[in-house]
Structure formats: C-alpha cells, structure tokens
Amino acid sequence: VEFGWSDEEAQFRAGLAEFVHAEVPAEWLEHPQPRLLTNAADKAQAREFAGKLRDRGWLVPHWPSEHGGRDLPTWQFVILGEQMWSVGEPRGSQYMSVNWIGPTIMQWGTEEQKRLHLGLIADGNSFWCQGFSEPDAGSDLGNLRTAARRDGDEYVVNGQKIWTSHTPAADWCFLLARTDPQSKGTTGISILLIPMDTPGIDVRPIPNVAEAAAFAEVFFTDVRVPVSARLGPENGGWEAIRGALQNERVGAPRWERASLLLDHVAAQAKAQGRLGDPAISRLLGEAKASCEAARLLAYAVIDERAKAQPASPQAYVARAAMVRAERLVAEALMQVQGVDGLVDGELTAENYFSSLTAGVAGGSYEIQLNLIARLVLGLPRS
Ligand SMILES: Cc1cc2nc3c(=O)[nH]c(=O)nc-3n(C[C@H](O)[C@H](O)[C@H](O)COP(=O)(O)OP(=O)(O)OC[C@H]3O[C@@H](n4cnc5c(N)ncnc54)[C@H](O)[C@@H]3O)c2cc1C
C-alpha cells in the first residue's frame, strides 16, 4: 500500500475543502458532529448540497460512467468522504447510498432497478434507510423474522425493524425479510427495495440520549410490494448482504472527524497550560496513535477494494480500531473540558454519546473482536 497522495488527489482534496467551507453553515465547521436528517428543512438542505456536489461531478465520482459516475479511483471517494465527515456529513444519509446501497444495486440489480435507483442516487435525489436490525436480530442478524409472503406478483410484508437510522427523511428502505417461512439462519432471506410511503409502514421514533429522532422502530403491516422490488435472488440475499456490510464497515471515514476533534482538544489543553500534565499528554498521545492506526487500517481495506481484491477479515480489524479511537478521543475531550463539556449541545457531550453508540451501530465491537479472533488470529470458536 502506498499511503502518499498524488498531486491530482491533493488538488482534489484542496478543491473540496474550499467548496465545503464556502457551502456549509459556519457552525458546522466549528461543530463537526454528523447530523441526522430529522425534518423536511434538513432534508432540503442535504438535497441542495448533494445537488451542488453532483453538478461538479463529485457525488459519485468513483462510479462507472454508465451509472452517472466518472470512472475515478476509489480513493477519490475516500477523500470526498473525509472532507464531508470533517464538517459533519452535509450529504445526510446519502453517504450510505453512494457507499454501499448503490454498489449493491449495481452488482445485483435488474436493468430496471439500476436505471431507477442508480439514476436517483447519482442525481442526489434519494434518501435511504437500512432495515436490518430487529428486536431479536442485531448481532445475530440471521435470526431476523420479518416475513415477506409471496402472493402472486407481490410480497406481503409483516414484521418489525428497530434502530433504523435516518427514517424521518427516508424515501426508500433497503429491507431484509424472510421469504422462506421454513428457513432458519442466513438462508431464506431476500432484499426488498421499498418506498417508505407504501401503505402499512409505521415509523415510531425512539427517544434516546444521542438525538431525539436519531432512529426509529419501523412496523410493517400487510405491506404489499411488487416482486420486481426484490434485489437479487429469492431466498438467497445473504451474499449481497455480506458484501454490503463489508462496504459499510469502512464507508464512513470517522477517523477524519476523530482526528480533527483531537486537534481541537489538544489546542484547548495547550491554552490551559496542561500539555505538561503526564496524564493529559499520555491520553492525547494514545488517542492520536489510535486515530492514525484506525485511518491506516481502513486505508488497507479500501486498497483491497480499489484493487478489486476479495474482501478480507481486515475490515473487522479496521472497524474495531475505529471504535477504540473514537472512545479514546471522547475520553480526551471529557478530561480536558471537564464538567463544562457536559452541557447539553456541547461538542464534548454530543461526541461522548456518539462514541458510545459507535461501538454498537454497524455491528458491535465485541462481535468484531470475536471475528478477529477466529478469522484473523485463527483461534477456535468458544
Ligand atoms: C446509532 C445506531 C444506529 C443504528 N442504525 C441502524 C440502522 O440504520 N439500521 C439497522 O438495521 N440497525 C441499526 N442499528 C442497530 C445495530 O446494527 C445493532 O444495534 C447492532 O447490530 C447490535 O445489535 P443489538 O442492538 O441487537 O445488540 P445485541 O446483538 O443484543 O448485543 C448486545 C451486546 O451483547 C454483545 N454480544 C452479542 N452477541 C455476542 C457474542 N456472540 N459474543 C460477545 N458479545 C456479544 C454485543 O457486542 C453487545 O455489546 C443502529 C444502532 C445504533 C446504536
């Protein structure tokens, strides 16, 4: 892996930095907390921003030109993501569409699905949510029970999803459902691409410490979906799901934001004259090393993707390293800011909450450690 950036990549980064500084509200630059789209105004803002990226050819630069991209290397997508996360992800949930939803549809979709969905995503005009987790199916996703019963040319969906992020603004749901009622585990599951305004879908936000409308329960009652909305084979969706999860693990460059926050806290510690305090300097040093480790481990995984190599278990290592880095940065912010940082709306408090959930969302930390033990270290299953 070559970790340096070419002149072209450095120029791309500089152009993007200039663009985001001109386009995002000033408070986003001082408060780079990823924002969830919780109302129509947030969504309109994200759509407008994505439209400006699209007009410059920056929304899906790494996609093939036949799907609205520019055939640029995966690294352009990484640089783009880093610049977006450094100012609080102004694309909103569209970072998921360009990272894993679009590519999964590209690989598994029918011509009709590709035309519709890839066109909408490349245009900056479709907001998705991810309907995977259920009350008894989180780490053990193969335990999901939401059922899609075949009825002629339609499926009838009944069941419940939970912790579904971005639902207030979602136009579409990437839904996992069991299409073979006799099946167990990861067999018998299909993917359905469902408009969120389909009758029978009920979204109930879950109040939580992080943000009021951050995620929701989503109930499906006799929701009728045409069979043409199924992505990939009936009962055989798991391979596509695995690929999607692999892309999701390193798709959000959280390391960039963690590093920026750390610079911010180091500047504060310096201003307070506390850099000489061995406890503070040790914490800052450890957090810095963890951020850089997380960045380089993620880059190694992205390098596999850029070279079209099969995904390796290194993605679990990268994700575990990212969780550790975010927790250390949150701890450093707390130590340096003290009680002042606990005020509601303060960056320290918000960041502390999001570092708590970072070890759960997208697959929990402990599960990543189990996978590393088995697939990287070759330890036996316990
Ligand atoms: C901020 C946030 C956003 C989310 N967004 C979405 C979303 O948009 N769509 C979606 O589908 N889901 C979403 N989720 C859900 C997330 O994917 C699940 O919470 C996660 O997979 C864990 O599942 P669970 O909550 O059921 O916990 P469980 O699987 O019940 O795990 C609970 C605890 O037990 C531990 N544990 C479980 N099994 C083992 C084991 N075998 N060995 C060791 N430890 C174990 C886990 O590590 C965890 O600490 C989100 C979660 C969060 C926090």
For the segment 197-213, the average pLDDT, to the nearest whole number, is 84
Residue with the nearest Cα to atom 33 of ligand 1? 364
Whole-number pLDDT of residue 174: 98
Q: Give the confidence band of 233 by pLDDT, cuts at 50, 70, 90.
A: very high
Whole-number pLDDT of residue 39: 79
- Mutate which of 163, 206, 379 for ligand 1 pocket (most atoms within 8 A of beta carbon): 163
Task: For the chain, give the longest Cα–Cα distance.
Answer: 72
Compute, in angstroms, the gap from residue 161 CA to the centroid of ligand 1: 13
Q: Look at phi and psi of residue 202 and say left if phi exceeds 0, alpha if psi is from -120 to 50, else beta.
A: beta
For the segment 144-150, the average pLDDT, to the nearest whole number, is 98
Whole-number pLDDT of residue 164: 95
Residue 133 Cα: closest atom of ligand 1: 11
For the segment 97-103, the average pLDDT, to the nearest whole number, is 94
Pocket lining for ligand 1, CB < 6 angstroms: 129-130, 132-133, 138-139, 163-165, 215, 357, 360-361, 363-364, 366-367, 370
The per-residue b/e assignment along 61-73, b for 16 or more CB within 10 angstroms, e otherwise, is: bbbeeebbbeebe
For the segment 76-97, the average pLDDT, to the nearest whole number, is 91
Instruction: Exactly one of 82, 89, 211, 248 is catalytic; name it.
Output: 248
- The reply to whether 27 belongs to the active site is no
Long-range contacts of the stretch 46-49 (C-beta < 8 A, 24+): 46/90, 46/91, 46/92, 46/93, 46/94, 46/127, 46/169, 47/124, 47/125, 49/23, 49/24, 49/90, 49/91
Query: Tens digit of pLDDT for each residue in 342-372?
Result: 776 677 777 787 788 888 888 899 999 999 9
Compute, in angstroms, the gap from residue 193 CA to the centroid of ligand 1: 23
Q: Give the confidence band of 194 by pLDDT, cuts at 50, 70, 90.
A: very high
Residue with the nearest Cα to atom 52 of ligand 1? 361
Compute, in angstroms, the gap from residue 272 CA to the centroid of ligand 1: 39
Q: Give the confidence band of 211 by pLDDT, cuts at 50, 70, 90.
A: low
Query: Tens digit of pLDDT for each residue in 31-46?
Result: 777 777 777 888 898 9
